[in-house]
Structure 1
């Protein structure tokens, strides 16, 4: 089916997943391989559980400094070209006659920065199902003012996600750990009119590596006040037990990307080392062993083969591993 972009239709999907007690995953992408891996994994898992129109959100950041994915989508390093290609890829992959036309696919624009993305706001924003407006580098009062103005401008046609805490503060609003308090969450939701709230719950998106810890009790306290409208950014530091019970904590959506790239890169590296001679040839493999970059047990007898040194070879490994990772999360949340 065509991409789900209308606000009412998007909210219907959220209502559907809440009735199912599902958490909606948002997998971000910065290339076609990742986009296809997401859709392929969801399609196959839906067939496995007997629901062929599973909902899924595919997201992308724009100029977000921690990972400007639209910039990286093309070697031109132009966000506008990258974003157009991303949207066109999704449209083609979900149009009538495509392999994924049966899925309910939504498009999320992640971390639209209040100052750096001004030019983007002149676009036709109806191309997106939801937008995370990020003014969290600003003091709290200014964050509220900016976010409320964004909601007033676009909230009638697009589902809006917002972050209430100042990312750059080491402490946070009212909590020594930097966690979002229920009082802050309630005020932010009421005064901005956002649909989905990104609180600081201690995950890698908001914390230093040494202090990573998901605080489910904080999530439950907040959701008891404002409903199951929380979005978790970052899941790598969340235990499998907590991941499986995020809905009970009030989490309706999880945005992720790092785990896909990190784990698939490990798989690619291992596969290429095992097939070193086929990838770079026996002579270079011998040189790498002599330089102690590779160990002697690595096979250097095989000859180089086009099957092993092409982009297709590398992308296929990434594609398969990403599908495996995505399916892992689907099994946790679509039960």
Structure 2
């Protein structure tokens, strides 16, 4: 199926999902391997469950200072080239997976650094997160409201109901208040609100804790129109019930990269000689990085030392991770 674009078409997908109690996952990607793993896992799931189509969103950040994923999508490190490659990959692959309703999301588009992109033709995207959270709340709302007026008829717009720095420039991590969230949505006109519910990446590890009470308080004011960023601190039992908390969309990226890496590390260590040759294996044993039991003396081989071999490990692991989320939300 072609990529779903146009605000009304995208809203229709969300309405259909809401009737089923589905939370739409939004997986970020910064390389083709991740992109294909997401789509393949979703397609396999749809076929296995006998679904005609399931919605899946793929996202990418641009000039977001915490992670410029569009630049990482290409070794030119040019965000414009990275975005073009990302979109082209999805346009081609969406034809391979007709059982998916694919949407493309621009995540954390910065009100200032991404101004050129935000004001360009975005008709090939399904949605955008307009991120002015570095500004004081009143200025954030003013900027977001103006952007919705300019672009709100073209695509679905998310807004960041958050203020990440205080007057002294210190990082803040306050849970989003329901009153503030209701006012933010009313005065900006955004379609979905990105609220801080305790899972934001800027929180320290011991502070990460999903606040379902805050989510439900917001839901009581604006309905199921909340986007949650981050799931590492959310238990599976809580993840299953996110729609009941008012969450309609969840952004996921760190888990894909972090939780697939151990498999590649283990595979490389266990196959050190096949990946790097017996000389490297012997050197690592002498240096204490490997033990004597690793001394296989095997020769390096194409099945192990190629980029393709390494990517296949990541591809398989990422598919498992994506499938885990789909099992929780689409059953």
Q: TM-score, normalised by structure 1?
A: 0.95
What are the residue-to-residue correspondences of 1:124-273 with 2, within 5 Å? 124-169=121-166, 178-273=174-269
For the pair 1:37 / 2:45, whether they are aligned, the reply is: no
For the pair 1:326 / 2:330, whether they are aligned, the reply is: no
The residue that corresponds to 1:115 in the other structure is 112
The residue that corresponds to 2:2 in the other structure is 2
Is the 8 Å Cα contact of residues 109 and 118 (structure 2) preserved in structure 1? no
Query: What is the CA-CA distance between 1:72 and the residue it aligns to?
Result: 0.7
Is the 8 Å Cα contact of residues 129 and 157 (structure 2) preserved in structure 1? yes
Counterpart-to-counterpart distance in 1, 2:260 and 2:295: 23
User: For the aligned residues, what is the CA RMSD?
Assistant: 1.2
Is the 8 Å Cα contact of residues 200 and 206 (structure 1) preserved in structure 2? no
1:98-139 deviations in whole A, cap 9, x for unaligned? Answer: x21231100000000011011212421111100000000000
Is the 8 Å Cα contact of residues 216 and 249 (structure 1) preserved in structure 2? yes
Counterpart-to-counterpart distance in 1, 2:218 and 2:202: 17
SS at match of 2:294: coil
Is the 8 Å Cα contact of residues 228 and 249 (structure 2) preserved in structure 1? yes
Query: What is the CA-CA distance between 1:206 and the residue it aligns to?
Result: 4.5
The residue that corresponds to 1:75 in the other structure is 75
Query: What is the CA-CA distance between 1:160 and the residue it aligns to?
Result: 0.4
Counterpart-to-counterpart distance in 2, 1:287 and 1:101: 50
Query: What is the CA-CA distance between 1:171 and the residue it aligns to?
Result: 7.8
Counterpart-to-counterpart distance in 1, 2:319 and 2:220: 34
Counterpart-to-counterpart distance in 1, 2:302 and 2:164: 47
The match for 1:291 among 284, 287, 292 is 287
Is the 8 Å Cα contact of residues 282 and 295 (structure 2) preserved in structure 1? no
Query: What is the CA-CA distance between 1:8 and the residue it aligns to?
Result: 1.0
* Residue correspondences, number: 328
Structure 1 runs of 4+ aligned residues shifted over 4 Å read 169-172
Gaps of 5+ in 1: none
The match for 1:309 among 305, 310, 313 is 305
The residue that corresponds to 1:60 in the other structure is 60
Query: What is the CA-CA distance between 1:167 and the residue it aligns to?
Result: 2.0
1:50-76 deviations in whole A, cap 9, x for unaligned? Answer: 104111001100011111100111011
Gaps of 5+ in 2: none
Query: What is the CA-CA distance between 1:168 and the residue it aligns to?
Result: 3.1
Query: What is the CA-CA distance between 1:306 and the residue it aligns to?
Result: 1.3
CA separation of 1:261/1:171 partners in 2, compared to 1, >3 Å: closer, same or farther? closer
Counterpart-to-counterpart distance in 1, 2:67 and 2:317: 21
CA separation of 1:44/1:286 partners in 2, compared to 1, >3 Å: closer, same or farther? same
The residue that corresponds to 1:20 in the other structure is 20
After alignment, is 260-269 or 121-130 more displaced?
121-130
